[in-house]
Chain A
Amino acid sequence: MIGRGAERVLGLLAAFGLLIGLYIGFVYAPPDAVQGEVQRIMYLHVPLILVSYLAFFVVFVMSILYLLRRQERHDAIAHSSAEIGVLFTALAIAAGSIWGRPTWGTWWTWDARLTTTTILLLIFIGYLMLRTLVDDPSRGATFSAVLGIFGFLDIPIIHMSVVWWRTLHQPPSVLRPGPSTVAPDMQVALYTNLAAFVVLYGYFLVKRLRLEEARCELNRLRMEGVE
């Protein structure tokens, strides 16, 4: 665990990064040649979705570590990361929907990556629901770990199936081989926001773990009080 001081620094860094990100996204970066101002949603949408992939990857790794080593810390990180991942995925879908309305002409469409992302969201909402329903904490942690592993491994298969099914989304512009198709100024704006959101994720994670610690402490004190 990191100290209070480092936690504060992380929080300030996240706030500062997001402010810079807003400035660069709204003022510094040029409007899109085709889409105009509305394209600026990208600076929110893309970092959100990339960070949520990161969050679910953390769930996957921590789930494996938990099954192998049985340390509550790993489970706490997996749980916290899943919560943040669900939040960010939901926000990314909402932002994408707002972006889709003026550019694609519809709030919602059964496009491949949109559908994949929504399935991912459903899987991890299920993950969080399962956690609340299992009374025994260690069993709950084990069940969640298994589900976290399945959820992550399922992503490529979901993606393949849905891509074959239909595709409308613009091809990936950041996570793809070859030179980027995004204009340099826009790239700066995009990566600044991405960095800010990664730091924000880190800050949320630390805060959430602190909450978990406090909860454990409270339980322990209650037990002592009973005795």
Chain B
Amino acid sequence: MIFVGHVMAIARKDLLAEWRNRESFTAMFYFAFLVLFLFNFALGADQALIRGASSGLLWLAFTFTSVLGLGRSVQGELENDCLEGLLLYPTQREAIYLGKLLGNFSVILVVELVILPLFAILYNMDLWSQIPKLLLIAVPGTLGFAAAGTLLSSMTAGLRAREAMLPFLLFPLTIPLILSAVKGTEVVLRGEPFELAMPWVKLIAAFDVVFLVTSLLTFEYLVEE
């Protein structure tokens, strides 16, 4: 239980800092909005085309936006040697990873929840009744993306080309996740029975388990010394 308390404390710290300046959230939200807005010009006004591409569009907006937030989250720790302070915190390294993950996951999920209705309005889609089903895909999908992103951003944080390196490493590794989320969302948006999306949800779950366990096992090596 103490471990859970430590995780929550670290996540709370991140979310509180985010709540006070809302820098990441504003940047992510505005960026996602711009991406959705620009898609309109890429696809034209063809409703059928937009419907067909919508789940892909949505997830591209989510992933691009997430990368922005993930990079900022760990960058904040590098300023004023915050990371050293965090590492001195008397807890296991795993708690630090999970705390950061929870913080990242929450911020990304909130942005997604704001973007979804916006997407529905901009592209005139009826999403409201599908929201619970969409969440069944978006929550594990976002968790996996945040899990991989939290780990990789702790590697790329100190690098010269960090803005470029994070997506270079993150996107290829998360392709199975993005692909599954897009396919699952497609099933939901077409109004087909959710059983058809289940294989994709299971694949997302497999990705989440593999990445969470491996991250927990390797995170301590990344932040030591």
Q: Which residues of A contact B (CB under 8 A)?
A: 67, 119, 122-123, 126, 129-130, 133-134, 142-143, 145-147, 149-151, 153-154, 157-158, 160-162, 164-165
Contact = CB atoms under 8 A, between A and B. Distances in A.
Nearest to B182: A165
22 contacts: A67-B218, A123-B169, A126-B169, A129-B165, A130-B155, A130-B156, A134-B159, A142-B221, A146-B218, A146-B221, A146-B222, A150-B148, A151-B173, A153-B210, A157-B203, A157-B210, A158-B175, A160-B176, A160-B206, A161-B175, A164-B200, A165-B179
Overall SS of chain A's interface: helix
Nearest to B176: A161
A129 B171 CA distance: 14
Interface of B: 148, 151-152, 155-156, 159-161, 165, 168-169, 171-173, 175-176, 179-180, 183, 199-200, 203, 206-207, 210-211, 214, 218, 221-222
B187 to A, nearest CB: 12
Nearest to B213: A153
B218 A149 contact: yes
B222 A154 contact: no
A126 B170 CA distance: 9
A194 B173 CA distance: 29
A122 B172 contact: yes
A164 B207 contact: no
Given A146-B221, A147-B169, A160-B203, 20 more contacts: A122-B171, A123-B172, A126-B168, A130-B159, A133-B160, A146-B218, A147-B152, A150-B151, A150-B173, A153-B210, A154-B210, A157-B176, A157-B203, A157-B207, A157-B210, A158-B175, A160-B176, A161-B176, A161-B179, A165-B183
